[in-house]
Amino acid sequence: MTVNALFVGSGRDWDTYAPALIAAFARLPRHVVLKADHAPDTVDYIVMAGSHIIEDFSPFIRCKALLRLWAGVEDIVHNETITFPICRMVGGGLDQGMVEWVVAHVMRHHIGMDRHILGQDGIWRDGFVPPLAEDRPITILGLGALGTACARALSALGFPVTGWSRTTKDISGIRCLSGPVGDALTQAQGVILLLPKTPDTEHILNAETLAKTAKGAFVLNPGRGPLIDDDALLAALDSGHIAHATLDTFCTEPLPDSHPYWAHPSVTVTPHIASATRPRPAADVIANNLQRGEEGRPFLHTVDRTAGY
């Protein structure tokens, strides 16, 4: 029996992911045909990289699931023409890639790396000794797969880690909180944002919550741009309450060249590269979920339409 999988994405996405997907599908017991031009009424699964390429999914009358190659689903989760399950990417190299980006930038700020790397001007700067990790409390907002992986990695390095999530989690070695987000931010010296974009998380980092952090704290945002009230963060940076912000995601992307983040001396902009889906492990995740569908088993990583992720 042939299974038709429709690839949705740009030509670049096809070149990146199609070879790995085809190889992963070839290992399945059923014959899977991956194409970018299946007729809608013949499609069994949609494998989606790009966004806003399809607005009306109603012609896909026999589709069993939309399998997303990315973690984010905010662009499709509220599309009422999608009447079949949406499965977001969990794994696929995203967790390890995020751990590496987060740990790198936490350590950069923790040991004061910039003062030496950027200060190659003949001045011997030996007057700064950073605290040990055990004296630098870190808060992670968001304890999904990515937040949990980062929390464990930072805890293993000796940082006291507090994690906040909408529902209470229990992670060994991590102080897990829910409820008022300010409780998790109180006296945090580093804040990492790894929440999804929902109406409840928009501007979760604002003037009130930023004020809860320790003076001189740093902020990392590899999550979603709207999690931050930009004006409030810029004010906190200007006042010195926040020492530095390293931002990978923004409300508008690419970040406009006129945006004040570009010129601010206490902001580092990275171009939404904190973690990317890697083709080979992502293809394995997609193939596994497709096979589960063919066997009548529940899909993994299905999106809760009410929660938005």
> What value does the mean pLDDT take over residues 152-175?
97
pLDDT digits (tens, 9 = 90+) for 111-140: 999 988 877 788 888 888 999 999 999 999
Do 147 and 8 reside in the same domain of the chain? no
Do 108 and 242 reside in the same domain of the chain? yes
Smallest CA-to-CA distance from 305 within 76, 90, 142 is with 76
Higher pLDDT, 288 or 115: 288
Helix (H, G, I), strand (E, B) or coil at 109: helix
pLDDT digits (tens, 9 = 90+) for 180-236: 999 999 999 999 999 999 999 999 999 999 999 999 999 999 999 999 999 999 999
Smallest CA-to-CA distance from 262 within 271, 103, 290, 96 is with 271
pLDDT band for position 278 (cuts 50, 70, 90): very high
Instruction: Answer whether residue 75 shows pLDDT above 80.
Output: yes
Q: With respect to residue 67, please indicate whether it lies within any of the assigned structural domains.
A: yes
Do 163 and 234 reside in the same domain of the chain? yes
Do 213 and 73 reside in the same domain of the chain? no
Q: What is the CATH number of the domain that holds 250?
A: 3.40.50.720
How many domains, the chain?
Answer: 2
Other CB atoms within 10 Å distance of the CB of residue 66? 24
Contact 71, 146 (CB under 8 A): yes
Position 113 scores a pLDDT of: 93
Task: Single out the catalytic residue among 272, 278, 301, 305.
Answer: 272
Q: With respect to residue 178, please indicate whether it lies within any of the assigned structural domains.
A: yes
Cα end-to-end span (Å), the chain: 33
Position 126 scores a pLDDT of: 87
Do 78 and 114 reside in the same domain of the chain? no
Contact 47, 67 (CB under 8 A): yes
DSSP state of 270: -
> What value does the mean pLDDT take over residues 146-173?
97
Contact 172, 121 (CB under 8 A): no
Do 250 and 101 reside in the same domain of the chain? yes
Position 15 scores a pLDDT of: 97
pLDDT digits (tens, 9 = 90+) for 47-68: 999 777 899 999 999 999 999 9
Position 68 scores a pLDDT of: 97
Contact 64, 293 (CB under 8 A): yes
Q: With respect to residue 305, please indicate whether it lies within any of the assigned structural domains.
A: no
Q: With respect to residue 307, please indicate whether it lies within any of the assigned structural domains.
A: no
Do 249 and 124 reside in the same domain of the chain? yes
**CA distances for 283 relative to 181, 218, 230, 276, angstroms:** 36, 35, 36, 13
Task: Single out the catalytic residue among 38, 136, 224, 244.
Answer: 224
Smallest CA-to-CA distance from 264 within 288, 286, 293, 235 is with 235
116 is catalytic: no
Largest interatomic CA distance in the chain: 71
Contact 305, 66 (CB under 8 A): no
Do 111 and 32 reside in the same domain of the chain? no
272 is catalytic: yes
Q: Is residue 74 exposed (0-12), middle (13-18) or buried (19+ Cβ within 10 Å)? A: middle
Domain that holds residue 22: 2-92+277-294
Do 259 and 126 reside in the same domain of the chain? yes
